[in-house]
Structure 1
């Protein structure tokens, strides 16, 4: 064997070793993704965190002057994740005025997200004349269903107990949320107004039904049966529901029926504003939720868009206040909340064209 051939043999041996190592790594990686939701969850968190940071930064230029806040209030002394912020319109904090209070639950697919993600948006909303509470909760896989709903219920108990100090009208509470947070808000609203659903999910509501004035629900997943398991979106939903339900075989979990809140709404559900973008994979859930509520005789104001709306409106479109649709969603939300505050009528469900004309 020549010296050159010896070097070639070494190279081939090293190449073989690298190939074997990569093969083992590939098998190990595949096994990791099959045995636990964590690898996929970490990827989702990385993507979602980047998107949330970009959306928040884009809202910075819209921040109004004069909004004040009380930050990092602990709503459950036994829970390290139980923090909330409260935002106020100018010249309200510390005074005698008691305002309709929007309790907002952030999104993140149940596996990511934090209250800071939506802070800018909620300060903009608060400036329109409302107290807004921004609630943190524990995320999956570390916390499974219905832990976040129980935590938000604990937040309601805290807000009610400190209503005077926080300028809250405890008889004008609106549960609100985006994406996963919309499901949590809707689930808790149904538990507050339906004793059967409260028992179904194991919650003793912190509010009486009369205290819950309405709901604002953006882009939520309200019925697991509406997921298209052969779609490109299916892999994400498998990871999310595996994480949140705590079982890889979540489709066989009888609790998934209770999670699917659109199946269980009652006539006592409060008036609802519901919206989603026309390019949102979860848009069918919002249509189904609106239809289920209307069937029960609940007053619904629904903001949907034609399938050919351009530009296409993605999941969480409402956070883009540089777009006409995002601004429209904000104005419709404010009008809905003002109607609740003033005791006015809430419109029946409508579908809005991109030019704002009803369809």
Structure 2
């Protein structure tokens, strides 16, 4: 009986953790959670009498009811209730097993310290699981405290240098009302006198991390340089930072991008930029930001619904480039070719960015459903593993129905296994992606 109680309790706690991590596999894990709860109820009823048995039975009953209701309704509060009750039930079973051992057992005394340490660690993990399930904000803010964060101070003093033959003006402040309002400007061939279209890129990172220098064209940058091919193709490039969720949530980043665009328009002559020919590009979370911004510029009804004023002339916004974009935030935690790690991160990020339990807000944040015939021509690309090729294909199909020029660039798994944001990694597929993107833009810009 002691072994049965311990095994059931341990499995119950682990299943609660798995349900937190594998939220998109809720049916399979949820059924196991229910099964273990039923076994737990049976065990505590035959192993104990009185109040302890009643407590265990009550916890098991809460797990069964809450889990079944969560599987049927998908209500977030029921999911949190399930995780809390399942974890409590698991520790109750483990405590019951420990209490059932002989107090005089030499083995019990010898294992007391390691068991206590293991229990403390398990309790800590469980507290993080339940707390993050309720709200990821405390976890994300603690990560910001030790890494990238919201700041009104630039990472470096603004200066102009030459990097790989391009003139770089770094950490230009484009606004003062929101944190991380800084951008970098790259002028091709170090020659601002030549009129070139402007390629403006917004980094990824799940709306909670990332930087405008990720993949920058410098000797110490990791991965593929997103700017290099565009500079070589005759574009000037601007890379923009933005405020991080959860402190700043949707649609703050759209508003902030508007501030950056207004700054660049006002200061175009100062930096040698042509803001009458603009291409907006976004990777992952950045793809959602640029798509949302473009929808605001081209869909007046949508702009009014969000309460955001357009900030640029539609005729100047020539094209949009989507790179592994999260277009439907409600499905961010369900990447294609399921990747538990990616799904977990994307789900946490999406819940930080907006309230994913608010169906009306999710509908507003859905780029696919809010494009119109006035949406800019779009180049849409993604990988095929742990990412969103389904959303990319849906956007392309929607733009086709609207009569908007677009190109969908996806690679089959028979060609190569390409992860989320594959275009940030040096490979023949990244080279092919860049070539096709530039070809598409050449016919538009």
**The one of 181, 184, 189 aligned to 1:85:** 184
1:204-252 deviations in Å (ceiling 9; x for gaps): 111021111111111111124555759535433331221111x3xx233
Q: Which residue of 1 aligns with 2:429?
A: 325
Could you say which residue in structure 2 is the equivalent of 1:189? 294
- Matches of 1:151 and 1:214 in 2, distance apart? 19
TM-score by length of 1: 0.79
TM-score, scaled relative to structure 2: 0.65
Which residue of the partner structure matches residue 37 of structure 1?
136
CA distance 1:84–1:25, shift in 2 (3 Å): same
Stretches of structure 1 lacking an aligned partner (at least 5 in a row): 50-62, 342-359
Alignment pair present for 1:108 and 2:205: yes
Contact 1:67 1:123 in 2 (8 A): no
Matched residue of 2:391: which SS?
Answer: helix
Q: Answer yes or no: is 1:126 the counterpart of 2:231.
A: yes
Counterpart CA distance in 2 for 1:16 and 1:90 is 65
- How far the C-alpha of 1:338 sits from its partner, in A, is 2.5
Equivalent residues of 1:275, 1:286 under 8 A apart: yes
Task: Provide the rounded CA distance (Å) in 1 between the counterparts of 2:310 and 2:425.
Answer: 34
Unaligned runs of 5+ in 2: 1-103, 149-161, 218-224
Choose which of 336, 343, 347 in structure 2 pairs with 1:238: 347
Give CA deviations for 1:109-130 in whole Å, capped at 9, x if unaligned: 1121111113232430223211
Summarize the Cα distance change of 1:326–1:23 in structure 2 as closer, same or farther, 3 Å threshold.
closer
Count the aligned residue pairs.
316
Match of 2:173 in 1: 74
Q: Within 2, Cα distance between the matches of 1:135 and 1:332?
A: 24
Q: Which residue of 2 aligns with 1:263?
A: 369
Deviations 1:162-202 (A, max 9, x none): 11112222211111111111111111111111111212222
Aligned to 2:272: 167
Q: Which has the higher contact order (CA 8 A, sep 6+)?
A: 1
1:21-60 equivalences under 5 Å are 21-38=120-137, 41=140
1:285-305: CA deviations, max 9, x gaps? 111111111110000122112
Give 1:153 shift.
0.9
Distance 1:19 1:319, change over 3 A: closer
| Secondary structure of 2:216's aligned partner | helix
Helix, strand or coil: the match of 1:216? strand
SS in 2 for 1:274: strand
- Over aligned residue pairs, what C-alpha RMSD do you find? 3.0
Query: Structure 1 residues 176, 9: closer, same or farther in 2, change over 3 A?
Result: closer
CA gap of 1:146–1:13, structure 2 versus 1, over 3 A, is: same
Is 1:274–2:373 an aligned residue pair?
no
Residues 244-276 of structure 1: CA deviation (Å, up to 9, x unaligned): 11x3xx233411101111001100011111111
Equivalent residue number for residue 352 of structure 1: none
